[in-house]
Amino acid sequence: MDKPPVLSPDASRTVPAAPERKPLTKKELAADHPTWCPGCGDFSVLALYFKLIEKRRLWQEKITTISGIGCSSRFPYFVQSYGAHYIHGRSLAFASGVALSRPDLHVFVFGGDGDLFSIGGNHFTHTARKNIKLTCVAMDNWVYGLTKKQTSPTSPLGFKSKTDVWGAVDYPINPVKQALAAGATFVARTTHSNPNHVMQMMEAAMDHDGFSFIECLSECVEFYEGAFDAANPRKGGVFNTVPATHDVTNEVAAYKLADEPFPGYFGIFYQVQRPTKGAREAELIAAAREKLKGLKDWQILQKTFEKMQ
Amino acid sequence: MHGMNTTEAAAAAGGAPRVSTINEAVIRIAGNSQDGIQAIGGFLARLAGRTEQEVMTFMTIPSTISGGPSIFQVRIGSGEVLSAGDEADVLLAFYQHSYDGHLASLRPGGLVLYDTDHVQPNPEMQGRYRHVGIPISTLTIEAIGGTAKDKGKNVFALGLLARMFDLDVPKLEELITERFKGKDESVLKNAMAAFHAGYGYTVGAWTETYRFAEARHRSGRQVVMNGNEALAYGVIAAGVRFGAAYPITPWSDVMEILRRELPKYGGTFVQCEDEIAAISMANGASFAGRVAVTGSSGPGISLKMESLGWAVMSEVPLVVINIQRGGPSTGLPTQVEQSDLNLACYGSHGDAPRVVLAPADVEDCFYTAIEAVNIARKYNVPVFILSDQAIATRIEAFPTPDLEKVCQDISPDFTPVAEYKPYDLSSPDGVTPRVVPGTRILNGRYPVAGGLEHDEMGHPTGSPRLHMEMTAKRRRKLQALARTLPVPKVYGPPEGRLLLVGWGSTRGPIQEAVDRARAAGESISSLHLKHLYPLPPGLEEIFAGFGSIRVVEMNDEGLYGYGQLAGLLRARFCDSRIAGINKTDGLTWKVKEILERARAVLAAGPAPEQPVHAS
Ligand SMILES: Cc1ncc(C[n+]2csc(CCOP(=O)(O)OP(=O)(O)O)c2C)c(N)n1
Ligand code: SF4
Ligand SMILES: [Mg+2]
């Protein structure tokens, strides 16, 4: 039996693979057949997740795939790994519990725009500011897919939905700006129609030591067809990458880039190093245990009780 | 001093006070919160814990944090102390409002010590209560020196009480030293000066002092703490190393202790953005391998309900602590009520069986935390601990637990397994052991924990058969647990006219009411329930021995005349002899109140015969 990790520094995250283990294949990684509509953008995100696991030689028992509720949030059922399909909006809080108590696991969170920015908005803010080490991919389709076409917090003004038959009237959220303002340490943007770029962003996010956030445009062909054509060169749009001159540590510059009108830019907007919550907690633990070296847990408690006698 | 038995009439001609031997005393100290009232109570409680006295205290937290009335009531006895005491023997009043507001809490003939610098006694009351006026503020300032204002008058008052009750001065000095050491040296010096000034204060008014009777011997050292502390340390002893919560009164100090203490054990406690995040984080940590804890009071518990259902559905172990306060909504944040039982048993949508336990006193808080963790682990189910504001703030002394035996390691096992079905329907009693992330599953089929109804691998299904079978699986686990629970013991004879049933913090006053009733020849017994959901076996047989059954609860009698536990018991046993004795004043039960209500039941005569259904 392995020694159970209590909480230890984040360094334990990369686990050397046993020599005989071959990288997992798509066949081994595929679980349930996805329930998404044919042509849904979410398929490409899933395919690239499989590719990432294969390429980076991650192992099924060392990853957890976590989501909330929504079409995009069905994700964990389609992946042959430990996974959790949590409740609507709260996936990041759940994932934080996994990440903080098990720094040896890779934690990936997939969710929709409603899941992450409406009902889960508060958790998004606080997971980002706490810099919890995990990768969060917002599969943004500008609409509520699962519940069949209601306005989402990212729906552009004028979008006609079942809850705004005359067109959306509430000003939309810009996920990249939101992430920057919340204090995320890695913020990137990509789109399902550019698989190579999605893969680049996922790899960079995974390697980031902290909270890594990717907004991935993912078209809902059922309820918002053509939403992202302007970002797809094959459909007459333009795919502009973040200019090479952009300084990813410059928050204000990142914000300005993110403020460009659609289709805007794609790539890494912001990336800085700040201690993760896990690392901070590990420091507190190390400091607390320094004075208690050699004592068993029951003896530590005994010492406390002696002061209460 | 109800228990006064012998009087060593030692009154000497020279004016030395008479010494009476007493079994117990109820002392109420009333002032403002910044006077350090709680600190005197704490000293007395810990002193009693270090000697042979039993101790129980009662404390109110003022709703305004700084300034405002604050009281502390301590009952010290050489026998078993069951409740905080209905009436005080001694009232120590620092201000006019303390005097005016608390005089009525004294028993007739009781003693009021008041600060003549602030209190103008009421002449009409002088005949009813013994009055001793002392310039507490002035004397404290004199003792400490001019610059100190009247800070330290709590310790002066402690000195007065030490003289009056012949308390162990060296032990008190030790406690004062422990409390103030590490601070500026002058702080300890001033505290000692104030204490001795109080102890040395003599007036002609001291006509009587008291000494506690020899206590029955207690083996080993006592620990002294309140219910919230006992819960927090119980959680640690149980092996929990991760928790998350959001602050709210009276839950907050549990999380403050866990936040401070868990790092010593390699664990961590997270202050979250809200209660939903907190239970979600705890669910995540539990899912990841080791039972986690969350907790709150009233409003925060309501917020956690959807997430609790997820733990039921996905069969993840979890411990949720609820320090109940008065509700609904923001309700009575600093007062007590037992009105969250329904929420604990039934809150969250759907058929969502979970376990509910309620500790009866401070010591029980410690052990209940461990039991809750172990039930959660064994049955993979969320477990509620229903404590309340009264236990949370009550200080009791109890035997130091055998920590080497009690503390447990609940680390997960990561030994690879050949295959794993997380929701195996063939498992006996519906219980499936968990395999957690980090564990290799050799057939390459990994589980998903989810809130959707699922098949045996955790994948979603709408199959009518599977929903029926999985619903039954989740239920069968609790039925299996119920079979293992101990049959609760009747307090008093197992047969009689009236059985008082209680749960949670009311055990002490209920048992004391039973003691008094039996002493008066009345046929009353009581039954305390710790396992509320599922209920333990054997209740039907116990109920059969009594003419009437009354559930004593601090909650409303409800639309149909039954409090929350009474409703549950009626639904379970279909027994029309079960009714309630309820109250909703936000205060703990007085023994007297229970006794009066119980006597009224007896006076009303036996319950009507159970209706006989014609065939
Ligand atoms: C508490 C709660 N409220 C509402 C719902 C219903 N609901 C499920 S998914 C969803 C919105 C999904 O939109 P989004 O997060 O953008 O995901 P998508 O389906 O577009 O991928 C809603 C409102 C729910 N499951 N739980
Ligand atoms: S409804 Fe939209 S988001 Fe959902 S699966 Fe279909 S295309 Fe995808
Ligand atoms: Mg969406």
Number of domains in chain B: 4
Residue where a domain terminates, one of B424, B450, B484: B484
User: Which are the contacts of B91, defined by CB distance < 8 A and separation ≥ 6?
Assistant: B27, B28, B29, B30, B99, B102, B103, B105, B106, B110, B111, B112, B113, B129
Q: Do A98 and B460 touch (CB under 8 A)?
A: no
Contacts of B290 in chain A (CB under 8 A): 4, 101
pLDDT at residue B89 greater than cutoff 80: yes
Contacts of B460 in chain A (CB under 8 A): 32, 77
What are B323-343's pLDDT values in tens digits?
999 999 999 988 899 999 999
Contacts of B267 in chain A (CB under 8 A): 6-7, 285
**CA–CA separation, B117 and B141 (whole Å):** 12
**Atom from ligand 2 closest to the CA of residue A141:** 3
H helices present in A150-294, as ranges: 175-182, 195-207, 251-258, 277-290
Residue where a domain terminates, one of B212, B242, B268: B212
CATH 3.90.1150.10 fits A21-274, yes or no: no
Cis peptide before A9 (omega within 30 of 0): no
Query: How much is the pLDDT for B181?
Result: 82
- Nearest CA to B259 out of A273, B251, B88, B307 is that of B251
Ranges of chain A with pLDDT below 50: 1-17
Pocket test of ligand 2: the residue of A37, A74, A141, A219 to mutate, having most ligand atoms within 8 Å of its CB, is: A37
Give the residue whose CA is nearest to atom 22 of ligand 1.
A147
Q: Do B403 and A302 touch (CB under 8 A)?
A: yes
Whether the Cβ atoms of residue B72 and residue B40 lie closer than 8 Å to each other: yes
CA distances from A134 to A95, A206, B78, B463 (A): 8, 8, 58, 35
A65 to chain B nearest CA, in Å?
Answer: 9
Sign of the CA dihedral with B149 first, then B155, B159, and B161 last: positive
Q: Is residue B612 part of a domain?
A: no
Lowest mean pLDDT across A18-22, B62-66, B536-540, B564-568:
B62-66
pLDDT at residue B6 greater than cutoff 60: no
Considering chain B, what is the average pLDDT of its residues? 90
Contacts of A81 in chain B (CB under 8 A): 446
DSSP B83-146: SS-SSEEEEEE-SHHHHHHHGGGEEEEEEEEEETTT----GGGTTTSEEEEE-HHHHHHHHH-G
Of B264, B281, B401, the CB nearest to A97: B281
Q: Is residue B611 part of a domain?
A: no
Of B221, B263, B447, the CB nearest to A82: B447
CA B255 to chain centre: 16
Q: Is the CB of A99 under 6 A from ligand 2?
A: no
Residue A85's closest chain B neighbor by CA? B450
Q: What is the gyration radius of the CA atoms in chain A, in angstroms?
A: 21
Could you tell me if B423 and B526 lie in one domain? no
Give the residue whose CA is nearest to atom 10 of ligand 1.
A70
Domain ranges of chain A: 21-274, 275-309
Could you tell me if B236 and B269 lie in one domain? yes
Q: Do A298 and B406 touch (CB under 8 A)?
A: yes
Is the CB of residue A248 less than 8 Å away from at least one CB of chain B? Answer: no
B549 to chain A nearest CA, in Å?
Answer: 40
Could you tell me if B419 and B402 lie in one domain? no
Residue where a domain terminates, one of B156, B178, B212: B212
Could you tell me if B549 and B431 lie in one domain? no
Could you tell me if B443 and B553 lie in one domain? no
What are B395-431's pLDDT values in tens digits?
888 999 999 999 999 999 999 999 999 999 998 899 9
Lowest mean pLDDT across A111-115, B143-147, B150-154:
B143-147
Mean pLDDT over residues B297-301, rounded? 97
Residue A101's closest chain B neighbor by CA? B285
In B180-339, DSSP assigns E strands to: 208-212, 222-226, 242-245, 268-271, 292-296, 318-324
pLDDT at residue B38 greater than cutoff 90: no
**CA–CA separation, A58 and A206 (whole Å):** 11
Query: How much is the pLDDT for A11?
Result: 37
> How many Cβ pairs closer than 8 A exist between chain A and B?
216
**CA–CA separation, B544 and B495 (whole Å):** 8
Helix (H) or strand (E) holding B28: strand B24-32
Q: Is the CB of A48 under 6 A from ligand 2?
A: no
Helix (H) or strand (E) holding B546: strand B546-553
- Domain of residue B297, residue span: 223-406
Query: How much is the pLDDT for B67?
Result: 56
Mean pLDDT over residues B232-252, rounded? 97
Distance from residue B506's CA to the centre of ligand 2 (Å): 55
Q: Is residue B167 part of a domain?
A: yes
Is the CB of residue B450 less than 8 Å away from at least one CB of chain A? Answer: yes
pLDDT at residue B57 greater than cutoff 90: no
Distance from residue A145's CA to the centre of ligand 3 (Å): 5
| B49 or B231: which leads in pLDDT | B231
Q: Do B403 and A309 touch (CB under 8 A)?
A: no
Query: How much is the pLDDT for B11?
Result: 37
Q: Do B439 and A61 touch (CB under 8 A)?
A: yes
Lowest mean pLDDT across B63-67, B94-98, B539-543:
B63-67
In chain A, DSSP assigns E strands to: 63-67, 82-85, 106-112, 134-140, 143-144, 150-151, 186-191, 211-217, 240-241, 265-271
Distance from residue A47's CA to the centre of ligand 2 (Å): 16
**Atom from ligand 2 closest to the CA of residue A41:** 8
**Which residue out of B290, B403, B409, B443 would a mutagenesis test of the A interface target, given it has the greatest number of A Cβ atoms within 10 Å?**
B403
Contacts of B270 in chain A (CB under 8 A): 96, 100, 277
Give the residue whose CA is nearest to atom 1 of ligand 1.
A88
Query: How much is the pLDDT for B47?
Result: 83
Q: Is residue B218 part of a domain?
A: no
Could you tell me if B304 and B390 lie in one domain? yes
Lowest mean pLDDT across A1-5, B80-84, B362-366, B444-448:
A1-5
Q: Is residue B320 part of a domain?
A: yes
Q: Is residue B610 part of a domain?
A: no
Contacts of A61 in chain B (CB under 8 A): 437-441, 446
Distance from residue A43's CA to the centre of ligand 3 (Å): 14
Is the CB of residue A157 less than 8 Å away from at least one CB of chain B? Answer: no
Could you tell me if B456 and B545 lie in one domain? no
- Nearest CA to B529 out of B555, B558, B552, B503 is that of B503
Could you tell me the CATH number of the domain that includes residue B144?
3.40.920.10
Q: Is residue B565 part of a domain?
A: yes
Is the CB of residue B562 less than 8 Å away from at least one CB of chain A? Answer: no
Could you tell me if B171 and B254 lie in one domain? no
Most confident of A38-47, B124-133, B155-164: A38-47
In B277-374, DSSP assigns E strands to: 292-296, 318-324, 355-357
Which residue type does A274 have? R
Instruction: Report pTM.
Output: 0.93
Name the closest ligand to CA A41.
2
Could you tell me the CATH number of the domain that includes residue B228?
3.40.50.970
Mean pLDDT over residues B531-541, rounded? 98
Query: How much is the pLDDT for B550?
Result: 98
Could you tell me if B573 and B432 lie in one domain? no
